Chain A
Amino acid sequence: MIFSTELLVQTVLSGLMVGVLYALMALGITFIYSIVKTINWAMGEFYMIGSYIQFVAVHYVLGARWWWLAAIISAAGTFLIGLILEPILIKPMYARPMQRRDDYATVVTIALLLLLRSLAVALGGPNQYRPESDLPVVWIGPLPQEGARVAAFVCALLALGIFWIVIKKTWVGLALRAAAQNRLAVQTSGVDVYRLDAIAFAIGVALAGLSGALLAPLFMVFPTNGAVTTVKGFEIIVIGGLGSIPGALIGGLLLGLVESLGAAFVSSPYQNVYGFLLVILVLIIRPNGLFGERGREA
Chain B
Amino acid sequence: MADPLLQAEGVTKRYGGLVANDAVAMTLLPGEIRGLIGPNGAGKTTFVNLLTGFETLDAGRIRLGGRDLTGLPAHQIAARGLVRSFQVARVFANMSVLENLLLPFLAAGSAGGLAHGQARARELLATSTLEHMAEESAGALSGGQRMLLQACAGFMIPSARLHVLDEPFAGINPVVKDTLIDLIERENRVEGRAFLIVSHEMAIVRRLCPRVTVMIQGRVAAEGALEEVARRPDVVEAYLGRVAA
Seen from chain A, the residues whose Cβ lies within 8 Å of a Cβ on chain B are 171, 174-175, 177-178, 181-182, 184-193, 297
Contact = CB atoms under 8 A, between A and B. Distances in A.
A7 to B, nearest CB: 43
A191 B78 CA distance: 9
A174 B54 contact: no
Contacts of B53: 187
A177 B78 contact: no
Contact of A190 (B85, B94, B102, B157): B157
Contacts of A171: 102-103, 106-107, 111
Given A189-B157, A190-B157, A193-B75, A181 B92 contact: yes
Interface string B123-166: 00000000000000000000000000000011001000000000
Interface in B76-116: 76, 78-79, 83-86, 90-95, 99, 102-104, 106-108, 111
6 contacts: A181-B92, A188-B83, A189-B157, A190-B104, A191-B103, A297-B93
Contacts of A187: 53-54, 73-75, 78
Contacts, number: 78
Contacts of B99: 174
B90 to A, nearest CB: 4
B103 to A, nearest CB: 5
A137 to B, nearest CB: 44
Nearest to A194: B73
B interface, size bucket? 20 to 34
B75 A192 contact: yes
A182 B111 contact: no
Contacts of A177: 92, 94-95
Contact of A189 (B52, B78, B94): B78
Of the listed residues A171, A177, A182, the one surrounded by the most CB atoms of chain B closer than 10 A to its CB is A171
Contacts of A175: 103, 106-107
Contacts of A185: 86, 90-92
B103 A174 contact: yes
Nearest to A179: B92
Nearest to A95: B73
